[in-house]
Amino acid sequence: MTDHIPTTQRAVVFTGPDQIEIDPAKPLPPLGPTQLLLRMEACGICFSDTKLLHAFSQHPRKSQAVGGLTPAELATVAGYAPGDRPVTPGHEPVARIVAVGDQVRRHQVGERVAIQTDYRHLPTAASNVSFGYTIDGGLAEYTILDERVVIEPETGERFLIPVSERPSASAIALAEPWACVEASYAWGERRTPVQGGSLLVVADAGAQVEGLDELLAQAQPARQVTVGLPGSDPTTQALDSVDQVTGQFDDIVYFGSDPDLVEALGPRLASGGLMNLVTGGASFGRPVQIDVGRVHYDLIRYTGSTGHRPQPGYDAVPASCDLGPGDRVAVIGAAGPMGLMHAVRAITLGVPDVSLDAVDVNDERLAHLEQVLAPLAARTGAKARVWNSTSQPLPEQAYDYVALMVPAGPLVAQAIAWAGPGSVVNAFAGFAVGTMAGLDLDAIVERHVYLVGTSGSRIVDVATVVGRIEDGVVDTNISLDAISGLDGVPAAIASVIDRTSQGKIVVYPALGDMGLIRLVDLPQRLPEVAAAMVDGQWTKQAEEVLLRTVPAL
């Protein structure tokens, strides 16, 4: 146990839509038998924090848990704050365990940990329980977590990932957003129907339907519904019209090319669902409205082929959505905090002959990005260029990979237009569910452009990034633009909303009353701290000077 456990603490609290407070004495409840007390070392600010601030109780991760723990168990989880209860945000943390309850078995006092914050084993009605959303997060001096929450029940893996003393707190706090980037490449896609899942097969009148037996030999659904197909077997529910279809499906196979029908089928895709468009050589003839928010948050996918069999559509799904040798990569919105991470990853991953076009619309931010990328490209041998798309049209080439940071539906359509045959378009930007975009499905069917999106990260992604930090492969501090104490969080949130930051912001909860300071301003504000940076970049030495100096000011 720690020598002193406080009963109150300084904490940031969201109390309602667009309502943010600094509570100087937020109560810290007694530690329960299955709980851990963590002292927060650092926590990053994320654009997703602004979404929670705006939506508050309407955010899908702020609703009640509907599984994983019983209501009685949830009532004993410290900091559980669903619905309209005030909550401490912050889901990019690094912390040290300073006390544990007497029933804790997998965690020890003194451990330094990165916290994977997305608890998918605790579903809500529209998402899942998450640290910093449904459970009090990292923008406080302390937090309490429950071992029943931070152990993945199926694998036994810990959501608290051990970290050595070598990296700075800021580098590990930045592991979570870098892990979200990592997840978007490493998530993995399926190339067969779901075994034991649900399958809807729809055929236009007169469509040539082939290969269903071949498909079902790979995976047999527990529920199968057909529309427009005669002679269905007794285990299949046969309907005359899509309007008669109820529920959602893991797989939808559509033999036809009616854009209105594809739009009607879209909402019938379950989370993680895939729609396979078998066009028989026909075309859709117009952009088709697709919910790109569901591509990002619900992981729905579209594939297809120009023949009469569905199998080639599944075969067209990439075995890997990561970069390959010789790939031509475009990052759209590359000068923002997350775009920088995608750009840095592309040229430091070690994949040979990758070339990068980093695209944005702000010359000042692009100049900063070029300063970051140039030495990395020189070290790795990768080709990297920055482009202002408002003054320089993109080069006439078909990209193998397009990563999109800007949550604008028309830009998804533009990204597909820039994508070459067999390419991946990564809709990384956090599109709200219900964001519709008119997309060229003929490109998806004929050129096999594959549109992906992911939300959050997994334990393995955080562990991968922590490993790269520990091994010196990547210094996540390269994306740091500003530092703050807890009192500077409102200004930090405003900076993210206004997009005035040129990178990430890290908060040090121990420096409660320090305001927001950009690194470029440190020579004037805190010259002793600035002297410990290297070429204007944050270092562990600068962090140590900051934590030693500021409390004494």
Q: Which CATH number fits the domain that encloses residue 174?
A: 3.90.180.10
Q: Give Cα 306 to chain centroid, integer Å.
A: 32
Residue 522 within any structural domain of the chain? no
For the domain that residue 355 is a member of, what is the CATH number? Answer: 3.40.50.720
Q: Is the same domain home to 306 and 215?
A: yes
Strands 35-45 and 504-507: antiparallel
- Write the pLDDT tens digit of every residue in 204-262: 999 999 999 999 998 999 999 999 987 667 778 988 899 999 999 999 999 999 999 99
Two tokens, residue 331: 């990052």
> Rounded CA gap, 165 and 447, in Å?
49
Q: Is the same domain home to 306 and 421?
A: no
> Rounded CA gap, 99 and 86, in Å?
25
Residue 501 within any structural domain of the chain? no
Strands 128-130 and 118-123: antiparallel
80 with 54: CB under 8 angstroms?
Answer: no
Query: What per-residue confidence (pLDDT) applies to 424?
Result: 98
- Range(s) of the domain holding residue 334: 328-452
- Write the pLDDT tens digit of every residue in 418-429: 999 999 999 999
**CB count in 10 Å sphere of residue 126:** 16
Q: Is the same domain home to 164 and 218?
A: no
User: Is a pLDDT exceeding 80 seen at residue 383?
Assistant: yes
The stretch 435-455 carries a mean pLDDT of: 96
Q: Is the same domain home to 162 and 238?
A: no
> Rounded CA gap, 529 and 536, in Å?
11
pLDDT band at 395; cut points 50, 70, 90: confident
Residue 510 within any structural domain of the chain? no
User: Is a pLDDT exceeding 60 seen at residue 41?
Assistant: yes
DSSP-assigned letter for residue 124: B
Q: Containing H/E element for 15? A: strand 8-16
Residue 372 within any structural domain of the chain? yes
Query: What per-residue confidence (pLDDT) applies to 165?
Result: 96
- Write the pLDDT tens digit of every residue in 87-99: 999 999 999 999 9
> Rounded CA gap, 65 and 133, in Å?
12
Query: What per-residue confidence (pLDDT) applies to 294?
Result: 95
Phi, psi of 39 (to 5 degrees): -90, 125
Residue 193 within any structural domain of the chain? no
DSSP-assigned letter for residue 135: B
pLDDT band at 2; cut points 50, 70, 90: very low
Q: Is the same domain home to 391 and 278?
A: no
Residue 281 within any structural domain of the chain? yes
Number of domains in the chain: 3
Mean pLDDT of the chain: 94
Query: What per-residue confidence (pLDDT) applies to 399?
Result: 97
pTM summary value: 0.89
Q: Report the SS3 class of residue 120.
A: strand
Query: What per-residue confidence (pLDDT) applies to 236?
Result: 87
Q: Is the same domain home to 447 and 465?
A: no
Q: Is the same domain home to 355 and 257?
A: no
Two tokens, residue 478: 């390269």
Residue 508 within any structural domain of the chain? no
Q: Is the same domain home to 119 and 14?
A: yes
User: Is a pLDDT exceeding 80 seen at residue 551?
Assistant: no
Q: Is the same domain home to 448 and 463?
A: no
Q: Containing H/E element for 54? A: helix 47-55
Query: What per-residue confidence (pLDDT) applies to 4?
Result: 72
User: Is a pLDDT exceeding 60 seen at residue 3?
Assistant: no
Query: What per-residue confidence (pLDDT) applies to 1?
Result: 43
The stretch 511-537 carries a mean pLDDT of: 95
pLDDT-wise least confident of 234-243, 320-329, 525-534: 234-243
Q: Is the same domain home to 408 and 269?
A: no
> Rounded CA gap, 280 and 254, in Å?
11
Looking at 444, 478, 512, the residue that finishes a domain is: 478
pLDDT band at 404; cut points 50, 70, 90: very high
Phi, psi of 521 (to 5 degrees): -95, -5
pLDDT band at 553; cut points 50, 70, 90: low
pLDDT band at 455; cut points 50, 70, 90: confident
Q: Is the same domain home to 282 and 334?
A: no
The stretch 456-461 carries a mean pLDDT of: 92
Query: What per-residue confidence (pLDDT) applies to 502?
Result: 80
Looking at 406, 437, 452, the residue that finishes a domain is: 452
Residue 76 within any structural domain of the chain? yes
> Rounded CA gap, 9 and 25, in Å?
5
> Rounded CA gap, 515 and 510, in Å?
12
Q: Report the SS3 class of residue 60.
A: helix
pLDDT band at 501; cut points 50, 70, 90: confident
Q: Is the same domain home to 74 and 171?
A: yes
